[in-house]
Amino acid sequence: MKVLEIIQKSAAFLERKGVESPRLQSELILAHVLGLPRLQLYLNFERPVPEAQEEKARELVRRRGTREPLQHLIGSASFWGLEMLVNRDVLIPRPETELLGERARDFLRTWPGDTPRILDFGTGSGCLAIWLASQFPTARILAIDISPVALAVAAQNARRHGVGDRIEFCQHDGLPAPGEPCALVVSNPPYIPSAEIATLEPEVRDHDPRAALDGGPDGLDHYRHLALAAPAWLAPGGRMMLEFGDGQAAAITGLLHFQKWIVEPPIPDYSGRERILAAGR
């Protein structure tokens, strides 16, 4: 078949399977298989695709039709242009988290010392820790996760991006006993209320790790823990910056106030929903 025919057939198939943006997804899969940037497909619509590659594309489209995420099929996700290896052991990095990283970077640019210490709670793929390490070449980072298999992926990503020597990976349930104080405590913790997980899209519900989603009965377990335990990790003048779910800003602000944090107004994402809070002592 030719490039355009494969795209059209794949898109029709994915649409029947309820996949969002079926044409785009088909193009991304075929571009991956052919080893081309997606837009190059447009210059090659009439090109016949060798049988082995057609077969490979068909297999990936079939798997995408079972609602396996595209990032798992191609094995990576981009975080501010850095390729992060991803698999079933780690949450696929989301665009909102890029915004959290950007706000964290803006804060760290104002930090007076030139070797900021950063704590990333619930590091997952390591996207935040690794991107911040790449932005601040002398920063040292403690990246914590309860999941040893997630930490293995994060460490691999850190080595790939040449920052493995500045990130210490630590397996721990919650924050460990306080160590060297940090300019920044950053976290995108699990925040889905347990009972809502069953209602999520199959790509998330069946393929992201449960430990990366489940925030307890009201979704706020980890914010309560951080509000209580993070002050001991924070250097004077430091900030805690947190991502959370749509509609959780007021509750999280309340529980931070309860632990005597000074909380800045919530920061909206690109669609105007409040998704990030910064707080200090």
Minimum separation from the CB atom of position 151 to ligand SAM (A): 9
Q: Are the beta carbons of 227 and 259 closer than 8 angstroms?
A: yes
Size of the site for ligand SAM (CB under 6 A): 21
- Residue 104 is a binding residue for ligand SAM (CB under 6 A): no
Nearer to ligand SAM, 114 or 173 (CB): 173
Nearer to ligand SAM, 1 or 170 (CB): 170
- Residue 252 is a binding residue for ligand SAM (CB under 6 A): no
Q: Are the beta carbons of 155 and 188 closer than 8 angstroms?
A: no
- Residue 125 is a binding residue for ligand SAM (CB under 6 A): yes
Q: Which stretch binds ligand SAM (CB under 6 A): 8-16, 119-127, 195-203, 258-266?
A: 119-127
Our CA angle for 258, 263, 269, nearest 5°, is: 125
- DSSP structure string for 62-93: HHHHTT--HHHHHTEEEETTEEEE--TTSPPP
Task: Measure the CA–CA gap between 8 and 154, rounded to whole angstroms.
Answer: 36
- Residue 26 is a binding residue for ligand SAM (CB under 6 A): no
Task: Measure the CA–CA gap between 195 and 197, rounded to whole angstroms.
Answer: 6
- Residue 249 is a binding residue for ligand SAM (CB under 6 A): no
**Please, which of residues 158-217 interact with ligand SAM by CB under 6 A?**
173-174, 188-190, 211-212
Please name the helix (run of DSSP H) or strand (run of DSSP E) that holds residue 51, with its range, or none.
helix 51-65
Q: Which stretch binds ligand SAM (CB under 6 A): 25-33, 34-42, 122-130, 269-277?
A: 122-130
Task: Measure the CA–CA gap between 4 and 166, rounded to whole angstroms.
Answer: 46
- Residue 22 is a binding residue for ligand SAM (CB under 6 A): no
Dihedrals phi, psi of 223, to nearest 5 degrees: -70, -40
Nearer to ligand SAM, 4 or 149 (CB): 149
Q: Which stretch binds ligand SAM (CB under 6 A): 6-14, 25-33, 61-69, 142-150?
A: 142-150
How far is residue 252 from each of residues 123, 196, 206, 241, 275, measured CA to CA in Å? 20, 18, 27, 12, 11
Residues of this chain that bind ligand SAM (CB under 6 A): 91, 93, 97, 122-125, 127-128, 144-147, 150, 173-174, 188-190, 211-212
